[in-house]
Amino acid sequence: MSERFIPSGLANRLGRAATLSLIAGTVGGAAVLAGQAFAARHRRYAQPELALALRATVGRADAPPLRLVLLGDSSALGVGVGRLDETIGGQLANLLAEGPNGRRVHLSSVGVSGSRSTDLATQVARALLGERPDVAVILIGANDATTLRRPVEAAAYLGAAVHRLREARVEVVVGTCPDLGAVRAIAPPLRNVVGWSGRRVARAQTAAVLDAGGTVVDLATETGAVFRADAGTLCHDGYHPSADGYRVWAHALLPAVAAAAAVASRH
């Protein structure tokens, strides 16, 4: 996969995180934070693999069909890996297709790298074009956290997206903001700041999604310890998941997604 310098948007968010965290008094040392923001800006980060089209059919031809769509940020696209079966969507599809009660999964993604919760309305519109999906998996929150957006505001946009999908009779599973304290592309204490911000976003997301009728999987709680312990769960940039990292997330999401698929089959 080709490497490019960190996108300016993420660089600006990291710089803003450093500045605001200093003002809030959450960490000390302007010089330390400024240096860390500069270092993060000049790292090389994984980019979306343009040749990787997240649209595939997985499973036996005679198995019950399941239309699965992913929405959200770079996670929904599988940034950090180069093959469909390494992405979280591909791994979920394979897991759902396995076994005697497996499904024939029609997988697609409308996610956009760099997306925040405010971008979900457009993605929902795209997801509902054509044949209605049975299950939607939303992965969002990291970019809301790194911009230090007010968690309640970000969660409100997520809740609206979940509500709209539920009104269209789509089962919805949301993977909340992952453990940003596990990323290695950002050094402490700036890493501690974005980790704290991520936890606040995840808590607000949980309340909004449940109120809107969706199902929540707390990715930070379920998988954060694994990401902190194993550097191999992140790809070469130390920020996006690797194939192993997406596998960890897929297994955490699988029970909720399988349950949603069972409900959808009764519609």
What pLDDT shows up at residue 149?
84
pLDDT at 37: 45
Among 21, 74, 113, 242, which one carries the catalytic annotation? Answer: 74
Q: Let me know: does 197 contact 145? Beta carbons within 8 Å.
A: yes
Per residue in 124-171, pLDDT (tens digit) is 999 999 899 999 999 999 999 988 889 999 999 999 999 999 999 999
What pLDDT is stored for residue 139 in this prediction?
98
Instruction: For residue 74, indicate whether it is catalytic.
Output: yes
Determine contact, residues 135/168, Cβ cutoff 8 Å. no
pLDDT (0 to 100) of residue 22: 42
Tokens of 248: 């960890």
Closest C-alpha to 140, from 68, 89, 198, 193: 198
* Cβ neighbourhood burial of 8 (10 Å; 0-12, 13-18, 19+): exposed
pLDDT of residue 42: 47
- What one-character-per-residue DSSP string does 196-225 give? HHHHHHHHHHHHHHHHHT-EEE-HHHHHHH
For this structure, is 242 an active site residue? no
In the residue annotation, 237 being an active-site residue is answered as yes
Catalytic residue among 144, 163, 237, 242: 237
| Contact in structure between 1 and 82 (CB atoms under 8 Å) | yes
pLDDT digits (tens, 9 = 90+) for 63-86: 999 999 999 999 999 999 999 999
> What pLDDT shows up at residue 26?
43
- Give me the residue label for tokens 């790298």: 113
Which residue reads 């998996």 in tokens?
Answer: 137
Average pLDDT, 10 consecutive residues per value, the chain (267 residues): 44 55 46 47 61 82 97 95 94 91 95 95 96 97 91 98 98 98 90 93 98 98 98 95 98 97 91
Structure confidence at residue 3 (pLDDT): 36
The alpha carbon torsion through 240, 242, 244, 246 (nearest 10 deg) reads: 50
Active-site pick, 109, 144, 240, 242: 240
